[in-house]
Structures are given as C-alpha cells and as structure tokens.
Amino acid sequence: QPPFFSSMVGVLAEEKGDEIWTTYLPQLQKEYDFWMDGADQLTEENPTYRRVVRMATGNILNRYQDDGDTPRPEGYKEDKETSEATADHARTNKDLRSAAESGWDFSCRWFRDPMDISTIHTIDIIPVDLNALMYHLEKCLEKGYELDGNAELAASYAEKAQQRQEAIWSYGWDEEKEFYQDYDFVAGE
C-alpha cells in the first residue's frame, strides 16, 4: 500500500503537538527503509532493485513492485488467465501483483495498451503520486530528526527530499499539458 503513514502522523501532530514527530520517528524510519531497500546497491549498470530505481540523472525514485511472481490469491483465476495469454507469465504476475500493491483499483494506468490488461507493465512505471508521498515522508523524517536533535540526519533527509523534488519535476512534469504524469523509465517517456 502507498506510504500514507507520515500523513497520518502529521494529522496527529496537528492535534497533539510536535512531540508526535519524535514519538513515531522509529516507525517513520521503518516505512522509509522498506521503500528504499536496496537504494545503496543501485548503479548505472544495475539501476533497479525491488521498489527503487536509479534514474539516468542518478536520482533515486520509487515504483511499486511486489516480490512475488505467481497469481494473486484474491484474483487467482483472472491473473492466471491474463498471465497465460503473455509470453512471460512470471513477469505478468509480478506486474499484476505490483498494481495491486499500489492500492489503486486496476485501470489502464498500468497498461501499454489501455484496452488490454495483458500489456500491464507496472514495474516499469515511476508513479508521480508514490514519489510525492515519499517526498512527504522525507520531509517528515527531516522534521522528526531535527526535533530529536539529530541535525546530521535532518540535513540528510532535507537533501534527499530536495533531490526527489527535482527528479519529480524532471521526470513527472509535463510542460505541454501543465500536469504531473507517471514516467515509464524503460520507454523513457
């Protein structure tokens, strides 16, 4: 599911005060670590691992990627039928599972051909909304570490948030449409 925990902590902090940021700092960090697992292993030659993608600029952005490659239990029959209609059953199942991980209902957002679910390619997509949530999480970690007295970690998260913000603008902003969009990092569009 999308990383909404930092938004929930923010609502609670508005009600109860800034100490909430330090109270929930370990949990915020745990969520961030889950989404950023493997980021330190990424290279130009090996730009993806689980939910992290190293862009051509060197920026790290996130995607949805379920670790499984079998049909989802809750949609076994449908997923099996869809994956059997493709050349790479495991990849199709991974894309279907990853779309479900997004928390969004299935839509053509994840398809190459909007009329054909078998063209699903979720793990090739950098979702702008996911990365906006990750930016928010980085800003919350910055605030939490600042309030906790750890200026070094606060500065580190401020820098990560700034880099992500620039990458979202670079890869997600469509100047012609004046709108943010997902970015297919495999197709480069």
Q: What stretches of the chain adopt beta strand conformation (E)?
A: 48-49, 52-54, 60-62, 125-126, 173-174, 179-180, 183-184
User: What is the Cα–Cα distance from 30 to 114, expressed in whole angstroms?
Assistant: 36
User: What is the Cα–Cα distance from 171 to 3, expressed in whole angstroms?
Assistant: 20
Share of the chain above pLDDT 70, in %: 100
Using pLDDT thresholds of 50, 70 and 90, give the confidence band for residue 188: very high
Q: What is the DSSP secondary structure assignment for residue 189, as one 8-state letter?
A: -
Token pair for 72: 């989802």
Q: Kindly report, residue by residue over 150-164, the tens digit of the pLDDT.
A: 999 999 999 999 999
pLDDT of residue 106: 77
Q: Kindly report, residue by residue over 87-117, the tens digit of the pLDDT.
A: 999 999 999 999 999 998 778 999 999 999 9
pLDDT of residue 104: 85
User: What is the Cα–Cα distance from 24 to 40, expressed in whole angstroms?
Assistant: 24
Please answer whether residues 60 and 40 qualify as being in contact, where contact means their C-beta atoms are separated by less than 8 angstroms: no
Token pair for 91: 């990849």
Using pLDDT thresholds of 50, 70 and 90, give the confidence band for residue 120: very high
Using pLDDT thresholds of 50, 70 and 90, give the confidence band for residue 48: very high
**Residues 33-45: what's their mean pLDDT?**
97
| Whether residue 66 has pLDDT greater than 80 | yes
Using pLDDT thresholds of 50, 70 and 90, give the confidence band for residue 75: very high
Reduced to 3 states (helix: H, G, I; strand: E, B; else coil), residue 80 is helix
pLDDT of residue 186: 97
pLDDT of residue 1: 85
The CA distances from residue 26 to 6, 16, 64, in Å, are 12, 18, 23
pLDDT of residue 105: 75
For the whole model, what pTM was predicted?
0.96
